[in-house]
Amino acid sequence: MIRKLLIANRGEIAVRIIRACRELGIETVAVYSTADRDALHTQLASEAICIGDIRSADSYLNMESILSAAIATGADAIHPGFGFLSENSRFAAVCETCGITFVGPNSRVMERLGNKSEARRTMLAAGVPVIPGSEEVILSEERGRQVAAEIGYPVIIKAVLGGGGKGMRTAANEEEFAAAFRTAQKESEMAFGSREMYLEHYVEAPKHIEFQILADRYGHVIHLGERDCSVQRNHQKMIEEAPCEALSATLRAEMGCVAVQAAKAAGYENAGTIEFLLDGNGRFYFMEMNTRIQVEHPITECVTGVDLVKEQIRIAEGKPLSVKQEDVVLRGHAIECRINAEEPEKKFRPSSGTITQLYLPGGNGVRVDTAVYSGYEVTPYYDSMLAKLIVHGRNREEAISKMRSALGEVIIEGIHTNLDYQYEILNDEEFAAGNITVNFLEDFARRRETRNE
Ligand code: MV4
């Protein structure tokens, strides 16, 4: 049993975890940087402890400081949330050594899945469809060119320790390969300290479909359906929805089955996400597995009625899953819009300042996950996400109407936000028609420019 849980995070996800703990009767410890003395997570937790300076490296990424806080407060578990240390296998390993329960899979599983090339090999061996690509790690441009020719152009060059777009370049043909490889490898070396790369055939205009899975330590693995996260800009998701209307019941069952198979092959425990690319011909491929709770988890909670954070904590306590696969029924349609402090008209430059006025919507089928309040100061030190606006309707049309209505009610004054931009997307014909691939936002921006000329 977990009596006291430390949340190694900030913002709305820290608040989300604190609320789950309160419902479960678990005491909470918030950790905060000197910039977050007045933050909501600092105020809502049972107790709070300062772990360092404003800069993330000095606080939310400082393992020693966080571990010391856990030991000093007598916390028996740590929930990492997302971002920061959430996918750091060394941090999970140190927690294990200290006898502190890390809410997530064990450190070996995290390390194996964090290595995207090893994850590919694991899935290939388990019969999970992977994108045609290199089975080996590629270190040199010469070897890369050979393998690329075997795979067939266009190819995509990815960092083994990457994920989420960093250290990633495409090459349409052999002429483009050298420059693309060098740039991707340099980026990987800078960001991850690794020259290890792998190659895949480039899938044109796919959908990004991810399956939520839950696994306990008794070998029960279930999936909770999918999320369509294709609406992204520079690998930052902006809108997510569940389920994906492009999936037939048959394809959903097939992909769900493969997702469960993938989690089993990895020896997975806790909540996780299997990312797939779905091409225009209905073929799907494993891309990577995320070992954390994700930003967009609330849309899955809406359509399944399962509290994913409570389930994570139950699993970490060694309890069996509270739901069986046959109990998972997808009901209605949910959409999440990320409300960011940024200026769409200035290339989405982050915006900072004090929120002078704030009004957030509510009502039937509307959920807002946020940690901002009127008078809150948005600093440039952390992620620009201010709030997640989540709606749940009987079908996609109703969800879209609800989201338009909810977006229209929001008032955030004192800083720039992407609210108007989100509203425009929700009124876009292509969005309404569900014509959405990972190229959606780029195409949308072009349509918008043409319209405004
Ligand atoms: C791909 C791809 C096409 N083919 N891999 C982007 C982030 C990282 N998770 C992998 N990504 C992609 N990998 C192959 N073999 C296209 C992308 C991609 C993408 C994927 C999901 C959501 C948005 C995207 C935007 C651009 C490229």
Residue 55 has pLDDT above 80, yes or no: yes
Between CA 143 and CA 151, with CA 147 as vertex, the angle to 5 degrees is 165
Q: What is the pLDDT of residue 332?
A: 98
Residue with CA closest to ligand 1 atom 18? 438
Q: What is the pLDDT of residue 212?
A: 98
Structure tokens at 263: 């989690």
Structure tokens at 135: 């089975």
Q: Is 358 in the pocket of ligand 1 (CB under 6 A)?
A: no
Q: Is 202 in the pocket of ligand 1 (CB under 6 A)?
A: yes
Give how far Cα 109 sits from Cα of 105, 120, 158, 196, 345, Å.
6, 14, 21, 19, 42
Q: How confident is the model at residue 423 (pLDDT cuts 50, 70, 90)?
A: very high
Residue with CA closest to ligand 1 atom 26? 438
Q: What is the pLDDT of residue 48?
A: 98
Indicate yes or no: pTM above 0.95.
yes
Residue 25 has pLDDT above 80, yes or no: yes
Q: How confident is the model at residue 164 (pLDDT cuts 50, 70, 90)?
A: confident
Which atom of ligand 1 is nearest to 201's Cα?
15
The full DSSP string for 342-369 is EEGGGTTEE--EE--EEE---STTEEEE
Q: What is the pLDDT of residue 333?
A: 99
Q: What average pLDDT is seen over the chain?
A: 97
Q: How confident is the model at residue 399 (pLDDT cuts 50, 70, 90)?
A: very high
Phi-psi sector, 347: left (phi>0), alpha (psi -120 to 50), beta: left
Can you tell me the distance from the alpha carbon of 54 to that of 37, in angstroms, rounded to the nearest whole number? 10
The full DSSP string for 105-156 is S-HHHHHHHHSHHHHHHHHHHTT--B-SB-SS-B-SHHHHHHHHHHH-SSEE
Q: How confident is the model at residue 165 (pLDDT cuts 50, 70, 90)?
A: confident
Per the CB < 8 A criterion, the answer to whether 45 and 9 are in contact is no
Give every CB contact of residue 145 below 8 A, 6+ residues apart in sequence.
174, 177, 178, 181
Q: What is the pLDDT of residue 23?
A: 98
Q: How confident is the model at residue 452 (pLDDT cuts 50, 70, 90)?
A: confident
Can you tell me the distance from the alpha carbon of 53 to that of 79, in angstroms, rounded to the nearest whole number? 21
Which of 151, 170, 203 best tests ligand 1's pocket when mutated (most atoms within 8 Å of CB)? 203
Q: What is the pLDDT of residue 453?
A: 77
3-state secondary structure of 438: coil
Does 292 participate in catalysis according to the annotation? Answer: yes
Which of 192, 287, 436 best tests ligand 1's pocket when mutated (most atoms within 8 Å of CB)? 287
Residue 52 has pLDDT above 90, yes or no: yes
Taking the centre of ligand 1 as the mean of its atom positions, its distance from the CA of residue 184, in whole angstroms, is: 14
Only one residue has tokens 């895949």, namely 200
Of 16, 112, 252, 292, the catalytic one is 292
Give every CB contact of residue 97 below 8 A, 6+ residues apart in sequence.
none
The number of residues in the chain equals: 453
Give how far Cα 324 sits from Cα of 214, 215, 221, 236, Å.
10, 11, 9, 32
Q: What is the pLDDT of residue 249?
A: 97
Per-residue pLDDT of 249-287, as tens digits, reads 999 999 999 999 999 999 999 999 999 999 999 999 999
Q: What is the pLDDT of residue 166?
A: 86
Per-residue pLDDT of 406-415, as tens digits, reads 999 999 999 9
Per-residue pLDDT of 328-359, as tens digits, reads 999 999 999 999 999 999 999 999 999 999 99
Residue 5 has pLDDT above 90, yes or no: yes
Q: Is 232 in the pocket of ligand 1 (CB under 6 A)?
A: yes
Per the CB < 8 A criterion, the answer to whether 335 and 399 are in contact is yes
Q: Is 200 in the pocket of ligand 1 (CB under 6 A)?
A: yes
Q: Backbone phi, then psi, for 198, in 5-degree steps?
A: -140, 165
Residue with CA closest to ligand 1 atom 21? 208
* pLDDT average, residue stretch 35-64: 98
Residue 240: CB atoms within 10 Å: 28
Q: pLDDT above 70 covers what percent of the chain?
A: 100
Which atom of ligand 1 is nearest to 204's Cα?
3
Q: What is the pLDDT of residue 163?
A: 80
Structure tokens at 279: 């091409």
Taking the centre of ligand 1 as the mean of its atom positions, its distance from the CA of residue 170, in whole angstroms, is: 10
Per the CB < 8 A criterion, the answer to whether 411 and 358 are in contact is yes
Per-residue pLDDT of 185-236, as tens digits, reads 999 999 999 999 999 999 999 999 999 999 999 999 999 999 999 999 999 9
Q: What is the pLDDT of residue 170?
A: 97
Per-residue pLDDT of 63-104, as tens digits, reads 999 999 999 999 999 999 999 999 999 999 999 999 999 999
Which atom of ligand 1 is nearest to 438's Cα?
23
Q: Is 116 in the pocket of ligand 1 (CB under 6 A)?
A: no
Q: Is 235 in the pocket of ligand 1 (CB under 6 A)?
A: yes
Cα(first)–Cα(last) distance of the chain, in Å? 61
